[in-house]
Amino acid sequence: MEIGNRFFARLSGVLRPLTLRVAPPEGLRAAGVLIPLRDRGGEIRVVLARRTERVPHHKGQVCFPGGSRDPGDADLLETALREAGEELGIRRDDVEVLGTMEPVLTVTGFCIQPFVARIEGSADFLLDDFEMAEVFEAPLSIFGQFDRYRYAESTFRGEINRVYFFDYGPHTIWGATATILHRLAELALNGRVE
């Protein structure tokens, strides 16, 4: 537990503060996602989910809990917390938000604001069976193995971007989720978070 506490303290020191607000570029929809991390016996693990084939968008893709901002959401953090509760049953009482990361722009027209959070190791999940097919965890450390990523290049808004792909067990994690994991691993490594 001591290792986990030190890790989370250091990670929060390299994340962007929650008070930093970035408006999405014109023409993109604002979305917020929660990046749930937890300490499992001294190993920091990332909680990921796989969407069902019934949802209208991103069928079967591995994702973080989150989505588009609803009119009733005070801000994108509220969106991420609300969606984490609705999709995975993560209770707000089990969440400690550590900070935020640089937004991710997607070719599907979203500006995704990731919020990194520590959740209780004992937290249980209750999936929305229409939206989520499964929830699973992966060690954060594997996402720092940068030679495991594949990528394709695409042009979006006049810039060349990398679309990352990462294989983990039976899952191929790609797109915005893989980009966020890549960036989080870079922050953890470059910020010397161990």
Domain limits for position 61: 2-142
- DSSP code, position 58: S
Q: Quote the number of domains for the chain.
A: 1
7 inside domain: yes
| Closest C-alpha to 24, from 109, 101, 132 | 109
Residue in this structure with the two tokens 């940068």, named with its chain if needed: 146
152 inside domain: no
38 inside domain: yes
* Positive or negative: CA dihedral 37, 40, 45, 51: negative
**For residue 133, is pLDDT > 90?**
yes
At residue 194 the predicted structure's pLDDT band, cuts being 50, 70 and 90, is very low
In single-letter form, the type of residue at position 144 comes to G
**Residue 108: both structure tokens together:** 């599907």
Q: Are 117 and 18 in contact (CB under 8 A)?
A: no
Residue 81: per-residue pLDDT:
97
Domain holding 64: CATH number? 3.90.79.10
